Amino acid sequence: MCAMCGRFVSSTPPDQLAAYFGADQLGETLLEPSYNVAPTNEIYTVIEHDGVRTLDISRWGLIPFWAKDTKIGNKMINARAETIATKNAFRKPFQRQRCIIPADGFYEWVLLEGHDKKTPMHIHRVDGAPFALAGIWDTWKDPDGDGEVLRSCTILTGTPNAKIAEIHDRMPIMLPPGAWDTWLDCEIRDPEVLEAFLVPAPPELMEFHPVSTEVNNPRTRGDHLITPVETASVQSTNSTDEDKP
């Protein structure tokens, strides 16, 4: 597990997400916009069954079907692209249960000149469209419960492009529109076909800026969190997982 992408933004209304990804919106449950989505939160996922693409809700943090309880999901918010096809928890979902996780941006923490602590950076697309993050999902049933099924998911991460390399040594896998059909078609299981998508997105697609450390508190979720703040220039030192809140 690689805890790289640990917070992200989900602010686009579900009807707009469904239209953007060519999906049908399922269920009556609507999630409140959040500019600080944290692990274990419910999030939107795009999934396809029998050729029908839907926008539904999953829990962030993969809980394998064989898990004894949900705690394991807290440690599986990300999955390394380099080992996705071989790790026990991820191998079968990668073959058969892939999804797209919409994100309007995500955060990374970096050391800025003149600062003792890491500053959060908000990374987003230059055109304002959502990122299509590559994900996998699984379902889990509590052996001691009432039989209710919980669906959970994780975000794939890989090597960074030149832009993200300025602040971190990994980044989420972002799928271009031309990859969506193949990625969501879980009848396609050829590792070579799927692994061809596990590459860094073009650096010109995105930009980032420093934001308030209020994002460190997962209970703070307002849109002010993505407002740029004035800081000194970014140092060359990349952030590490230990520097996150």
Catalytic residues: 5, 108
**CA-derived radius of gyration, the chain:** 17
CA distance 141 to 151: 9
Strand partners, 154: 136
Q: How far is CA 64 from CA 4, 70, 76, 194, 234, in A?
A: 20, 9, 10, 21, 38
CA distance 226 to 118: 16
Give yes or no for a contact between 173 and 156, defined as CB atoms under 8 angstroms apart. Answer: yes
Q: Which two tokens stand for residue 24?
A: 């049908």
> What residues have CB less than 8 Å from 206, skipping those under 6 apart?
123, 124, 125, 126, 163, 164
CA distance 31 to 41: 10
Residue closest to 118 by CA, chosen among 4, 202, 1, 235: 235
